[in-house]
Amino acid sequence: MAFIPPAYVSQDELADRVGALARALVPRLRCEPIVIGVMKGAFMFTADLVRQFHALGIAPRLDFITVSSYGFGAQRADAVAIVQDHSLEVNQAQVVLVEDIIDSGHTLKTLQSHFINKGVAELLTVVLLDKPSGRATSVLVDSVGFTVPDGFWVGYGLDYAGNYRGLPYIARIQP
């Protein structure tokens, strides 16, 4: 039987926090913002956030972008590559960028520059987990779900070597 790590952030805590993030963002949103989730780690967070927006009367358009900042294993690289770009036109649009975790800051900084260079009218950044102990570059974030200590985080879309993405909660593991 595979090891199943215990919850650090429960399903109920996730649901409550995603709802709170959505309610806090709604006053800043236009009626049809473009929500762009960063694949693969932010897919669950993005889906739940979009459902909350709909429940609050906001009808966002949804898209995804895929980046790579890991080489082999769990060593983070400073270079970030866009593997698959989003497909919706973002020039002069309001974009809500949804990321799973901010660690070094390199990925988020690269993505923010990418969208600014595409001419977005406004870019709001929402991050589920903030791990400030890993920060190597400064980056601005509009909304954070949870601040977490150093460690390797999995579940709710986040993985380690392709495992644990489907956990309905956030867990901390020792790879």
Catalytic residue among 100, 103, 130, 159: 103
Which CATH number applies to 11-173? 3.40.50.2020
Contact between residue 10 and residue 37 where contact means Cβ atoms under 8 Å apart? no
Q: Between β-strands 34-39 and 171-173, what pairing exists: parallel, antiparallel or unpaired?
A: unpaired
Question: Where does the pLDDT of residue 3 fall: very low under 50, low under 70, confident under 90, or very high at 90 and above?
Answer: confident
- Measure CA 86 to chain center: 15
User: For the segment 94-147, what is each residue's pLDDT rounded down to a tens digit?
Assistant: 999 999 999 999 999 999 999 999 999 999 999 999 999 989 999 999 999 999
Question: Where does the pLDDT of residue 78 fall: very low under 50, low under 70, confident under 90, or very high at 90 and above?
Answer: low
What is the model's pTM? 0.92
100 has catalytic annotation: no
What residue ranges do the domains of the chain occupy?
Answer: 11-173
Q: Is residue 76 pLDDT above 80, yes or no?
A: no
Q: Is residue 26 pLDDT above 90, yes or no?
A: yes
Q: Is residue 157 pLDDT above 50, yes or no?
A: yes
- Measure CA 75 to chain center: 19
Percent residues over pLDDT 90 in the chain: 83
